[in-house]
Amino acid sequence: MDERLAGEAGDGLRLPEFTRSLRGFATASAIGTHEHDLLFGPLIAARRSAAHVVAAEAKAAAFDADRLRRALDEAVATIAKDRAGTDPAGRRALEACLEAAAAPLIGALAVLATASATLRAAQNPPRAGAWAVWCGAVQAVFDATDAFWLVLDDVAPRSGGFRLPSAVVLLAISLALAASGAAAQHVTLRVPGVRADSLIAAGFDVVGTEPGAVLIVASPRDRARLVTQGVTEVRSSRGELVVPGLANAQAVTAVYRSFDDPVRGIRAWTDSIVAANPRVTVDTIGRSFEGRPLLMFKIGPKGDSPQRPNAVFVATYHAREWAATETALRLVKYLAAPPGTDARRDSLVQSRDIWIMPVANPDGYQYTFSTNRLWRKTRSPQAGGAIGVDMNRNHSANWGLDNQGSSPDPQSEIYRGPAAMSESETRSIETWHLSHPPVVALSYHTYSGLVIYPPGAVYGGLAADLPVYKTLAGTNLRSAVTDRLPGSPRSSYMPGPGWMLYTTNGEYTDFASSKSGALAFTTELTSGYAASGYYGFEFPDDPALLEQLFQDNLPFALDLLDAARDPAAFVSATTARRTSPLTIESASPEIRVIVPTLAATTTSIAANGPLTFRLDSTAGGKYTRRIISAPVARPAAFSVTGIGSAATFRLLAVAGAETADAGWTLSGFAPDSVFSKSGRYAWFGTSGTLQSPKVTVPADIDTVSLAYWTMHSGSGFTAEPSGRVDLSKDGGATWTTVGIQRGFAPVWYTDGLTIGGVRGKSIAFRFTANGLPWRLDEIAFIGHAGVVSTAVTSSGVLKPSENPVRSPTVRFIWPFGSLAGDLTVFDFSGREVWRRQMSPGDPLAWDVESLHVANGVYIAVAKSGSRSSRLKLFVARRSQ
């Protein structure tokens, strides 16, 4: 048969002779053997098919990379079975060794897949170039198959019953990788039959879950660990060939840009936008291990003014998360647009110090373009020959708290480093934050479709500033970020504390909130899925999809900028929430309330007499604080007294799953004694409903809070399973969904909601578990019985706690008693610098220190309806 295959007639395209140098194929003694046929048979068949067609597309179809990859997997499995004999562990170990040795061939098949797609899309006259690239890819596949054949006996000797002790599997695979030159490659795997939390605890890089399987990104060493533990791995399917990251890292991109490319790279893009736009400046806040600059963009007025609150956006702590960097770059471009086209944008840019860091990990990021697409860590050398540290486990907050939220193993993908801030990148970020303390901070990651916030280190922990976080991030019922990407299984991102996904320590948002005082969030961009299937970290290099991703996340970014002036007073149109001055989290077995931080030290709780209480020492909030009473057995009523007001609450109903808690309707739920928050029992169900008895709200109460203790075993990676909370205001005739429960919470924590407009109505709540293992206890209906002002007013005269102001905070006495209104402070030029919407009982305090208020003359104006009071205020703080 002619070894030269003609291209299209008359076009001069010729497939070169590719069998001349094939040592394995030319080994006469091997031709015709079963194993030789397994490896080379699919290639010979492809060559024969290509010889009988003319069109370039048809020749490319003959060498279908997906089909060839499946054939290779089957060949490896068969050879391992034949050579290992009847020992299952030995067969799995041998198969892992063979797959590791075949890594160059796997990579060559990936290159062939890309070259085939390019060839099919090419038009004349550029087709000649695409044809040449494709021919080279075919040649490389044959060469790699040849090389694999030649090392086959070294990797898997014909010993008649291969047995490889599990203790030496890691070493054997490492040697095979050294021979193949593929030691750095990572792949995405589906691991069936193992829980995600078990894999996380073992240090694997868990990135998602699917029905019956967990998704991990694995190095060859991780794959060896799976084998030694008897776990069967299955490659993830995305509707295309899934390969080690090398081939995809070297692919040409249309939108994504590497760091170093002198034409399109991050540094080149930076130079271009700074030169073209006077709104944009850039600082180098440090250097990476390999010497790349850590670039921090500044949008808006030059300099760092104490009059303007800081807001910072950081992207790509983890190198492989290209869509995070692209989102940050688009945010730079959006905010830098010429003034005059968007009033809100112009106002925010002029009145905030906006900082954007598109690549926190430039060394790792560049490595994903040059060598390994799925690389995660930095590139600094570590003990035992390992490379890199997980920057998002290297921060000083909670560093090394345990070995589940980070790993002490340098080979682990979540290695925390030998010490807190061991990485130059992490040190530079922390130093910058402490000299530019942000009011709000957002870290862009991919993927999972989440908006998460501190704390993240311990299951069940809740931020003291939780009401402010919920105002900005929203709830599962109305999230701050919608997901409109085609084919996504989510309609919005899931908000919640970081541990709802899994626990982390040494993480950025815990640092930014606890050490620099920021309201800090992480968005995990995209669900990782489209109509075509799973793409994970490899979000498509598609301009339209990347723009949709940016537009989905833009409202949240703008809300953070808006809120930076006064987060506790911010009213979000995106989430339809505002921060209440008083939040009830629990009425039993202890009373938990959240009050403004400035009122926390003067707030008291009473129920049938005074109660002892404490501030939650684990969650020190900047805007709100949690107060926890001593244990109390289902009080009939309680009161909370703070600055200027006393609020009274009545328990309309409260129940756990105790024998005396009658009236609840159960279908699929039952009392359970394994875990309970109070008493002997809690309700537990996985699929079914738990419905409360009907409660008639008294005529003097219009607002009711639902507060309950809960545990659930969902997933932060997926929207399902879930739980639903429904409300009826008409005695059970109709129902409205008012809450959705998602995520993984293996310990008790409080949750709830508040509803208004229920005066005199017959209300009931219903909990529905949709495949979610869900525990509930001490469910309380709490009526807001009223607020009585205890403040001393001066007949409509606004008075400050001091004038001139020399303290960090100035407090005002609201001049209009129980009437609502607002207090606004203007500088002497008439520019608004602070505003607080007032409700009866609100503490009225202006934190001039945290807002960096400059010394000078200010005008404070209180308004309530047609009534107003103003005063001239002098700020004269010596610290300035």
CA 549/CA 551 separation, integer angstroms: 6
Which is higher by pLDDT, 503 or 608?
Answer: 503
What is the secondary structure of 477-522 as a DSSP string?
SSBS-B--STT-S-SBPEEEEGGGT---SS-HHHHHHHHH--EEEE
Look at residue 233 in the predicted model and tell me its pLDDT: 64
pLDDT above 80 (res 619): no
CATH of the domain at 810: 2.60.40.3080
Residue with tokens 């996904």: 501
pLDDT at residue 164 greater than cutoff 80: no
More confident call, 689 vs 832: 689
- Residue 375 placed within a domain: yes
> What's the chain's Rg over C-alpha atoms?
31
| Whether the Cβ atoms of residue 215 and residue 716 lie closer than 8 Å to each other | no
pLDDT of amino acid 648: 94
Q: Is pLDDT of 132 > 80?
A: no
* Average pLDDT value for the chain: 86
Domain that holds residue 29: 5-181
736 and 806 belong to one structural domain: no
Active-site residue among 233, 524, 590, 778?
Answer: 524
Domain for residue 189, yes or no? no
Distances (CA, A) of 338 to 341, 346, 488: 7, 9, 34
Q: Which residue do the tokens 């209906």 mark?
A: 781
Chain segment 389-399, per-residue pLDDT in tens: 999 999 999 99
pLDDT number for residue 477: 96
**What pLDDT band is residue 334 in, cutting at 50, 70 and 90?**
very high
Tokens of 429: 């970020």
Whether the bond between 244 and the residue before it is cis, its omega within 30 degrees of 0, is no
Task: Answer yes or no: is pLDDT of 180 > 50.
Answer: no
Do 73 and 243 contact (CB within 8 A), yes or no?
A: no
Cα 601–chain centre separation: 35
Give one word for 629, left, alpha or beta, with left for phi > 0 and alpha for psi -120 to 50: beta
Res 33: pLDDT? 75
Residue 398 covered by a domain: yes
Look up tokens 């080994």; give the residue.
Answer: 27
Burial of residue 367 (CB within 10 Å: 0-12, 13-18, 19+) is buried
Report, in this order, helix, strand and coil percent for the chain, each rounded to 5. Answer: 30, 30, 45
State mean pLDDT over 254-263.
94
Q: What pLDDT is recorded for position 153?
A: 67
Residue 434 forms part of a structural domain: yes
Pair of tokens at residue 816: 């209009």
Q: Residue range 676-690: average pLDDT?
A: 96
Give the residues across from 234 on adjacent strands: 190
Percentage of residues in the chain having pLDDT higher than 70: 86
Do 367 and 385 have their domain in common?
yes
Residue 385 pLDDT greater than 50, yes or no? yes
- Among 166, 181, 196, the domain boundary falls at 181
Residue 452 neighbours by CB under 8 Å, 6+ apart: 495, 496, 497, 498, 500, 501, 509, 521, 522, 523, 524, 716
Instruction: Select from 523, 377, 553, 519 the least CA-distant residue to 451.
Output: 523
The domain spanning residue 339 has which CATH number?
3.40.630.10
Alpha-carbon distance values, 25 to 22, 33, 64, 388 (Å)? 5, 11, 20, 40
User: Residue 106 region, left (φ>0) first, then alpha (ψ -120 to 50), else beta?
Assistant: alpha
Mark whether 717 and 780 lie in a shared domain.
Answer: yes
Same domain, 518 and 545: yes
> What are residue 450's phi and psi, to 5 degrees?
-135, 155
Cβ–Cβ < 8 Å for 741, 775: no
Closest Cα partner for 91 from 100, 99, 82? 82
Note whether 568 and 675 are same-domain residues.
no
Are residues 570 and 595 both part of a single domain? no
Higher pLDDT, 187 or 251: 187
**Which residues sit opposite 208 in a β-bridge?**
215
- Could you tell me if 753 and 775 lie in one domain? yes
CA-CA distance, 451 to 460, in Å (whole number)?
17
Pair 727, 755: CB distance under 8 Å: yes
d(C-alpha 746, C-alpha 458), whole Å: 11
Q: Which of 181, 203, 221 corresponds to the end of one domain?
A: 181
CA distance 533 to 556: 27
**Integer Cα distance of 710 and 752 in angstroms:** 10
**For strand 736-741 and strand 744-755, is the pairing parallel, antiparallel, or unpaired?**
unpaired
Identify the band that residue 243 occupies on the pLDDT scale cut at 50, 70 and 90: very low
Q: pLDDT: is 585 or 115 the higher one?
A: 585
pLDDT score, position 25? 39
Of 789, 812, 839, which residue constitutes the final position of a domain? 789
| Element containing residue 103 per DSSP (H, E) | helix 103-121
Question: How far is 95 from 156, CA to CA, in rounded Å?
Answer: 9
Burial class (CB in 10 A: 0-12, 13-18, 19+), 263: exposed
Q: What is d(CA 763, CA 451) in angstroms, rounded to the nearest whole number?
A: 32
469: Cβ–Cβ under 8 A, 6 or more apart, which residues?
453, 463, 519, 521
Residue 303 class from Cβ within 10 Å (0-12 exposed, 13-18 middle, 19+ buried)?
exposed
Among 74-78, 623-627, 876-880, which stretch is predicted with the lowest mean pLDDT? 876-880
Q: How confident is the model at residue 767 (pLDDT cuts 50, 70, 90)?
A: very high
Each residue of 452-465: pLDDT tens digit?
A: 999 999 999 999 99
For residues 62 and 595, give the distance between their C-alpha atoms in angstroms, rounded to a whole number.
Answer: 69
pLDDT for 428-440, tens place per residue?
A: 999 999 999 999 9
- Read off the pLDDT of residues 484-520 as tens digits, 9 standing for 90 and up: 999 999 999 999 999 999 999 999 999 999 988 899 9
For residue 255, being part of any structural domain is answered with no
Helices (H) and strands (E) in the chain, counts: 19, 40
Q: Same domain for 427 and 398? A: yes
On whether residue 601 sits in a domain, the answer given is: yes
Q: What is residue 249's predicted lDDT score, i.e. its pLDDT?
A: 63
Whether residues 697 and 805 fall in one domain: no
Model confidence at 8, pLDDT cuts 50, 70, 90, reads very low
H/E stretch holding 296 reads strand 293-299
pTM of the model: 0.74
Confidence at residue 854, expressed as pLDDT on a 0 to 100 scale: 86
Give pLDDT, residue 142: 83
Average pLDDT over residues 791-800: 65
Question: How far is residue 206's CA from residue 554's CA, in Å, rounded to a whole number?
Answer: 28
Q: Does 845 map to a domain?
A: yes
**What digits encode the pLDDT tens for the residues 348-379?**
999 999 999 999 999 999 999 999 999 999 99
Same domain, 281 and 320: yes
Nearest to 587 by CA among 608, 564, 601, 572: 608
Question: Residue 596 gets which letter from DSSP?
Answer: E
pLDDT of residue 135: 82
Query: Can you give the pLDDT at residue 490?
Result: 92
What is the number of structural domains in the chain? Answer: 4
Residues 812 and 735 both lie in one domain? no
Give CA–CA dist 636/650, Å, rounded. 6
- 77 and 102 inside one domain: yes
The position carrying tokens 């948002």 is: 509
Residue 243 lies inside a defined structural domain of this protein: no
Short-list 96, 106, 108, CA closest to 174? 96
pLDDT of residue 31: 56
pLDDT of residue 40: 85
Q: How far is CA 472 from the centre of its chain?
A: 16
Closest CA to 280 of 349, 233, 326, 222: 349
Distance CA(386)–CA(392), nearest Å, equals 18
Q: How many CB atoms within 10 Å of residue 342? A: 14
Whether 95 is catalytic is: no
Query: Cα separations (Å) of 458 from 514, 616, 676?
Result: 15, 15, 20
In angstroms, rounded to a whole number, what is the distance separating the alpha carbons of residues 443 and 553?
A: 12
